[in-house]
Amino acid sequence: MDTCPCGRYNLIRSGRKNRSRLESERFFCYSCSIETFVRRGRVMERTILHLDMDAFFASVEQRDAPELRGKPVIIGGSADSRGVVSTCSYEARKFGVRSAMPTAQAKRLCPDGIFLFPNMKKYSLVSRQMFSILERYTPLIEGLSVDEAFLDVTGSRKLFGDGVTIAKRLKREIREELGLTASVGVAYNKFLAKLGSDLEKPDGLVVLTPDNVAARIHHLPITRLWGVGAKSSEQLLRLGLKTIGDVAHMDLKRMRIHLGDFADHLYLLANGIDDRPVETEREAKSVGHETTFAEDVRDTAFLEATLLGQAEKVARRLRRAGMEGRTVTLKLRYAPFRTITRSHTLPLPTNLEIVIYDTVKSLLAKCALTAQDAIRLIGVSVSGLGKEGEAAVHTQQLSLFEEAAPLAAPDPRQQELTRAADKLRDKFGEKILTRARLIKRDD
């Protein structure tokens, strides 16, 4: 038993594995819901920051082109194309423009919007500069994308001050060195920090503590809870749960009947409990590539050629990372916006483009496209990732009592050809080699 920083109640610890995780190896105070952990016999409250750049791509463009400042800037390509909005400035958001919206729809909502193609090379450079600023304060950084990250600054407080002080310094340095603004949430766990960073955008700084968390988040809709999407929110609404506060005060035992373990997950978050650590290294779950066409495509041969180019890119990325995968997935988006996926799991993992292409081509054939099927997006991805060559060891460990069917090993000639092609591309660039079938195809 230890005393919580709130000074009112004792912390409760149990070595038992409880399905709700309310009793766990960590310490929780049931009075204030504060999450703590013990080091060398003393209780320490974590300090987690979530930093999110404001309208990152659009803000970089406005920074570099003064004539764009104060105007509705929309990143995603031409308004006349089949592009999708990556992000937009806050001036454009006033018209209802949002990320993932078709650019044609964005044009209808914001006729005077300035549409720009994304400059990923420039954004990546600014992202690296932003992360270098974060690294001044802690090595415990979990990057979520090019423009947002979690920081665990618990061990940095003696050097730089409390979480609010560190957040202010980060915001100031990003503004002075990069000419951009960032919003930061400061809290005692990841869920609350991320929620806080979004509450007062742009250029916001929100601090959530055990004393104010109920007042700040309980009125928010249930969709602000991690894991609640369109379908699950409908189910929760039918159960009478409209806000985070409703979930925080729900009858947990009764809700388990309807929601199973998902009820525990929601209950913990709504009460400000989240025991996940900041993960400094996150393994990719899949590698993929997609293409959105300027015009709907009905030519199967063209779709197959597109898949071949995508399979090459995916395979190349896998080999560069020293990875291989077993599950190949085809993604198709029909007009208007009906999306399907089809997957196949290989007996052995691969990072060879010919294997990936043959598999995804077979999946496309099974879709039985007709002349009436108009495709606006196609993509291929590989998941079930593991280190290259790792599976070869496991496949040798056959049962003592059963005979396993032999698995076809990769063609050594194909592997040697791939290695030679990789060496050429590493030395002379990606365009030094191009398959004849792809020469006349526009990327």
Q: Return the SS3 of 278.
A: coil
Task: Give the angle 74-78-82 at the CA atoms, nearest 5°.
Answer: 105
How far apart CA 356 and CA 359 sit, in angstroms, is 5
Closest CA to 201 of 46, 47, 50: 50
CB 125 within 8 A of CB 64: no
Sign, CA dihedral 353-355-360-361, equals positive
Residues 148, 312, 324, 353: which is the catalytic one? Answer: 148
Place of tokens 């999946």: 363
Closest CA to 97 of 64, 75, 70: 75
Beta bridge partners of 184: 51, 205
Closest CA to 271 of 85, 18, 21: 21
DSSP string, 152-215: E-GGGHHHH-SHHHHHHHHHHHHHHHHS--EEEEEESSHHHHHHHHTTT-SS-EEE--TTTHHH
In the residue annotation, 148 being an active-site residue is answered as: yes
What are the catalytic residues? 148
